[in-house]
Amino acid sequence: MIKRTPEQRRSRAAQARGFTLIELLVVMAIVAILAGLFLPALSRARGAADGARCVSNLHQTGLAAQLYWEEHGGIAFSERTVRTNGGWRYWFGWLQDGVEGQRDFDPTQGALWPFLQGRGVGACPSLNRAAPMFKSKARGAANGYAYNLLLGPRGAAGRAMSTVSAPALLAVFADGGQVNDFQEPASAENPMLEEFYYFDTNTLSATVHFRHRNRAQAAFADGHVAAELPDPGSEDRRVKGQLCGRLKNSVVVP
């Protein structure tokens, strides 16, 4: 049996007591300070990662559009084409008529499906569809990006891309979204954010979602992707923490 001195026994008893209340409070204060220092950095890192994923999505979508143009004589596709099976065929797929958030969606009928084959590039990670302020258009996600309506007007032939004088200055796709205050569950008293699928120069439209620290990612006709600021005066901030608006006409008009 090991004999211990009185000092050793007192030291062992002190160790057995564990932390005092003051020591616990000090530790909690230190943890809170560290969390306050690191959480903003983690949030910024996550935002940067989401932004990079969005850039990749738009880059792939832009490449798919270029492949489409090559296979269709250099003619851009229309934003919306024909009505079929109780719905409309849009550039990103077929969307059923009906109640918001309960409509069927079929991406295989979209113009770019043969080139993308369901790679999931239509969902931007910075578009939080689970948030209370978000209103779905279909069951699940349809598409989080908008198409330049001036390239492919509804029900009309698309523009010949050879007539675009400055492809590096023409946005083809951008982060899409608008404030809805007229379809349930949204209302004038409860405006909500929803997906939207085209953008143009209409001063009444605010259909680009500037969700990356008040910037929107846009894919240009030459293949590059860049962040854009909203056109001054077009901002729609009716949904708290969200910014919708228009792109500047200089990157929208072919």
Within a domain: 245: yes
Within a domain: 28: yes
Within a domain: 143: yes
Per-residue pLDDT of the chain (254 residues; tens, 9 = 90+): 555 565 555 555 445 455 677 767 777 777 767 656 655 544 555 656 777 899 999 999 999 999 999 999 999 999 999 999 999 999 999 999 999 999 999 999 999 999 998 778 999 999 999 999 999 999 877 899 999 999 999 989 999 999 999 999 999 999 999 999 999 999 999 999 999 999 999 999 999 999 999 999 999 999 999 999 999 999 999 999 999 999 999 999 99
Q: What does residue 198 show for φ and ψ, rounded to 5 degrees?
A: -150, 165
Q: Please report the pLDDT score of residue 113 as a whole number.
A: 96
Within a domain: 220: yes
Within a domain: 1: no
Question: Quick check: pTM over 0.95?
Answer: no
Residue ranges making up the domain that contains 65: 7-251
Q: Please report the pLDDT score of residue 103 as a whole number.
A: 94
| Overall domain count for the chain | 1
Instruction: State the burial class of residue 130 (Cβ atoms within 10 Å of its Cβ: 0-12, 13-18, 19+).
Output: exposed
Within a domain: 102: yes
Within a domain: 72: yes
Within a domain: 154: yes
Strand runs (DSSP E) across the chain, as ranges?
A: 80-84, 87-90, 93-96, 105-106, 134-135, 145-148, 171-175, 178-180, 192-194, 198-199, 208-209, 216-220, 225-228, 244-245
